[in-house]
A and B are shown apart, each in its own frame.
Chain A
Amino acid sequence: MERSPNPRARSTQPDAPWQGRHLLGLEDLSAGAIASILDRAQVHAQHAAQSREKSQALKGRVVFNLFFESSTRTRTSFSLAAKRLSADTQDFSPTGSSLSKGESFIDTARNLEAMGADILVVRHPTPGTPKLLAENVACAVVNAGDGAHEHPTQGLLDLLTIRRAKGRIEGLTVGLLGDIAHSRVARSNIWGLSKLGAKVILCGPPTLVPRGWERLGCEVAHHFDDILPRCDVVNVLRIQFERQHAGLFPSVGEYSHFYMMTQERIKRARPDLLLLAPGPINRGVELTPEVADGRHSAILDQVANGLAVRMAVLEMLGGERAE
């Protein structure tokens, strides 16, 4: 049966370093490619801890942040990453632009390309939109989150945070907690963690963790207290309040009762539990403030690692390369 070209065909060699033209998702990447990005990001992270000096890697390059959906943290992180590499950066968000006049997203991207964009960092509420853009422009495209599909740099920064804290990823048990069904962070984590050899447990109410994930090699659980003692890492996903309005869980209170990370629960976890949260977090819903600010929490490390990961990705996509 004919089918469009399989993006995974590129990653046939599991240990080869990343050489992609775009970063659209972690599903497309081999373990070796992911590790090579993490290695490079680690260099940036260590450098940032010692020095304020900028890299010249993207001098003269133009990076556009094309955000069709609001974001402060991810956009700021990408902007700063580009600036740390000496690229010129420009934000473009559709509010008030010609998009509201009916211009298609592909036209918008082509316009930015005509302004000299070398890399488009794209966030869009619709899955697959970065891929469609990548097929229609010559510059590099980085997916900064496409609907519930993927958020690869978030996945990478979670991996980097785990690797730096635990020294490894292979063999760890990582619980992803909350709204798996509607989470791009969950999907990028699932692909990245599985490829690097971690065991992934998905935990949340059945309306937010529907059946089928076992086929991706994950364990599915609905009672957090049952799985917490087995977890080396728990990644607490943000709960979107509109899911409650859609009736997928009865109340925020009931959600918190089953899934909020509290001091009580921490006591039943492994002593070296690492706690991640992609944020922005709802204190008192997913995490109590004591836990968010406590010794298990790596939330601020994630932010710092996010900058390093985005620097590595932009540099590997936009720097000089042997062709």
Chain B
Amino acid sequence: MATIQITGGRVIDPSQDLDFEGDLWLSRGRVLPHGSASEDADLVVDARGMIVCPGLIDVHVHLREPGNEEDETIATGARAALAGGVTSVACMPNTRPAIDTQAAAEFVVLQARRARQANVFPVGAVSKERKGEELAELGQLVAGGAVAFTDDGAPVVSAALMRTALEYARMFDRVVMQHCQVPELTLGGVMNEGFESMRLGLGGMPAAAEDIMVARDIRLAEITGGRLHIQHISTARSVELVREGQRRGVRVTAEACPHHFSLTDESLRSFDSNFKMNPPLRTWSDVEAVIEGLKDDTIEILATDHAPHAREKKMREIDLAPFGIVGLETLLPITIKCLIEPGHLTWPRVIRKLTCNAATLLNLTNKGTLRAGADADVTIIDPNARWTIDPAQFHSKSRNTPFGGWEVRGRAHAAIVSGELRFSRDPRHQLLIST
């Protein structure tokens, strides 16, 4: 498909502070200069009433391949991403085996190329086998396509190793992403520690377990000059620590997930393991602090922590069920419902946190923008579509969501990757999409 004309949409590109009604042209996998109308579009996409923006980037997903293909594969996860309007994902290395070598990173890149859905960028492990002992071969991981490093799923517990990683990763100007949690404070934990865990008799995970490691790692980023990214920030104090670190000039960024600004630990009264994630759902004051952090840009990035688990694993006693929920296909509606509709953020600000800010974090210079010559990754959002979240309709292989049955507004209408229309809800487009 050589040339695509997207007509009549509201084009929002925060990387250039663009927000206008009009056309966007894509040709040979690139964005054409704004206003450069060509006469011979191979495909015209009617985007009237829609938002047209750079393809959304989710910096935090788990695709489970290799090792747990019963939960998700790179192909199904990348398909779910497109259905959620996400054209690029960064996948975490906690697979079996872990993505801790160049070959493992290349495997992810290869599988993603075969799938031809969303772009998939591997995040390499910080330590060999994610054991937290020895540094993985970070440079060779970069050669294999790794865009960042993390031991996510577990934190880098050793302060010494974390310091080394932050220091060494500077050589490649790559960010170290950290799941901040002091493990000895959360042993046996199922949910946030507090009034609700006390009342339900469930093991608690105190907010302090997150805060302590956030504070530690910000100091380590400060003394090393390394780039630190706080994953799925969930506590009020952690938001404050990041804010204070940024004020001091530390290279620290943070992401927030929809479940951490839409739900609280009161949901656990249902004992439903779809409310069990790590970090856990916190209290209303934490939710408010996360929203405040999103509003003042302390939290520059929105991400899902998409964590698929097969039904038979999640349908267990709540202390035995694994942590995590799927998120790619509910990212937009929950964000709209909890951030845009209440007036916390405007569309351009939400899109900024899902495009250029995410691209900057991952050093993706040609993504997250509609500048002339950028990669032709485009998301078209119908902001007014009313629908009910039905997990049975998910493209993901897994259904573990707490949002089933929610009445929501807004969803991805179409997704274009490298100038190819790869996902569309428009019935007229179905023949064009080769899957």
Are A212's CB and B316's CB within 8 A? no
Q: Is B154 an interface residue (CB 8 A)?
A: no
- Chain A: CB-nearest residue to B405: A2
Q: Is B435 an interface residue (CB 8 A)?
A: no
CA distance A213 to B318 in the complex (A): 23
- Chain A: CB-nearest residue to B270: A4
Q: Spot the interface stretch: B31-39, B123-131, B196-204, B422-430.
A: B196-204
* Complex contacts, A182 vs chain B, CB 8 Å: 201
CA distance A106 to B316 in the complex (A): 8
- A104 is contacted by which of B199, B200, B316 (Cβ under 8 Å)? B316
Q: Is B20 an interface residue (CB 8 A)?
A: no
Q: Closest CB of chain B to A203's CB: distance in Å? A: 16
CA distance A82 to B90 in the complex (A): 58
Q: Spot the interface stretch: A71-79, A83-91, A145-153, A223-231.
A: A145-153
Are B316's CB and A128's CB within 8 A? no
* Complex contacts, B198 vs chain A, CB 8 Å: 181, 210, 212-213
Q: Closest CB of chain A to B309's CB: distance in Å? A: 14
CA distance A233 to B199 in the complex (A): 23
* Complex contacts, B312 vs chain A, CB 8 Å: 104
Q: Closest CB of chain B to A180's CB: distance in Å? A: 9
With contacts A104-B315, A187-B199 taken as known, whether A212 is within 8 angstroms of B271 at the C-beta atoms is no
Are A127's CB and B199's CB within 8 A? no
- A147 is contacted by which of B201, B263, B316 (Cβ under 8 Å)? B201
CA distance A187 to B199 in the complex (A): 7
By the criterion of a CB under 8 Å from any partner CB, how many residues of chain A are at the interface?
Answer: 31
Are B199's CB and A216's CB within 8 A? yes
Are A124's CB and B317's CB within 8 A? yes
Are B201's CB and A150's CB within 8 A? yes
Are A149's CB and B195's CB within 8 A? no
Q: Is A248 an interface residue (CB 8 A)?
A: no
Q: Is A131 an interface residue (CB 8 A)?
A: yes
Are A128's CB and B200's CB within 8 A? yes
Are B200's CB and A149's CB within 8 A? yes
* Complex contacts, A104 vs chain B, CB 8 Å: 312, 315-316
**Can you list, as one digit per residue, whether each of A278-321 has a CB less than 8 Å from chain B (1) or not (0)?**
00000000000000000000000000000000000000000000
Are A4's CB and B317's CB within 8 A? no
Are B405's CB and A128's CB within 8 A? no
**Can you list, as one digit per residue, whether each of A204-227 has a CB less than 8 Å from chain B (1) or not (0)?**
000000101101100000000000
Q: Is A1 an interface residue (CB 8 A)?
A: yes
Are B315's CB and A126's CB within 8 A? no
* Complex contacts, A212 vs chain B, CB 8 Å: 194-195, 198
- Chain B: CB-nearest residue to A124: B317
With contacts A104-B312, A147-B201, A149-B200 taken as known, whether A127 is within 8 angstroms of B266 at the C-beta atoms is no
Q: Is B18 an interface residue (CB 8 A)?
A: no
Are B201's CB and A149's CB within 8 A? yes
* Complex contacts, A27 vs chain B, CB 8 Å: 199
Q: Closest CB of chain A to B279's CB: distance in Å? A: 19
- Chain A: CB-nearest residue to B275: A4
CA distance A181 to B199 in the complex (A): 9
Which residue among A2, A6, A182, A184 has the maximum number of chain B CB atoms within 10 Å of its CB?
Answer: A2
- B201 is contacted by which of A127, A210, A213 (Cβ under 8 Å)? A127
Contacts of A19-35 to chain B: CB distance below 8 A: 27
* Complex contacts, A1 vs chain B, CB 8 Å: 262-263
- B271 is contacted by which of A132, A181, A210 (Cβ under 8 Å)? A132
Q: Closest CB of chain B to A167's CB: distance in Å? A: 31
Are A127's CB and B405's CB within 8 A? no
With contacts A104-B316, A127-B318 taken as known, whether A4 is within 8 angstroms of B201 at the C-beta atoms is no
Q: Is B272 an interface residue (CB 8 A)?
A: yes
Q: Is A105 an interface residue (CB 8 A)?
A: yes
**Can you list, as one digit per residue, whether each of A103-130 has a CB less than 8 Å from chain B (1) or not (0)?**
0111000000000000000001111110
Which residue among A104, A106, A126 has the maximum number of chain B CB atoms within 10 Å of its CB?
Answer: A126
- A215 is contacted by which of B195, B200, B202, B315 (Cβ under 8 Å)? B195
CA distance A124 to B317 in the complex (A): 9
* Complex contacts, A127 vs chain B, CB 8 Å: 200-202, 271, 318-319
Contacts of B177-198 to chain A: CB distance below 8 A: 194-195, 198
Query: What are 27 of the A-B contact pairs (CB < 8 Å)?
Result: A1-B262, A1-B263, A2-B405, A3-B269, A4-B269, A6-B269, A105-B317, A126-B318, A126-B320, A127-B202, A127-B271, A127-B319, A128-B318, A129-B317, A129-B318, A132-B317, A147-B201, A147-B202, A149-B201, A149-B202, A182-B201, A187-B199, A212-B194, A212-B195, A212-B198, A213-B198, A215-B195
Residues of B within 8 A of A (CB): 194-195, 198-202, 262-263, 266-267, 269-272, 312, 315-320, 405-406
4 extra A-B contacts, CB within 8 A, seeds A184-B201, A213-B198 = A1-B263, A3-B266, A4-B267, A128-B317
For the complex of A and B, 7 pairs with smallest distance between CB atoms:
A128-B271, A148-B201, A149-B201, A126-B317, A4-B270, A127-B201, A212-B195
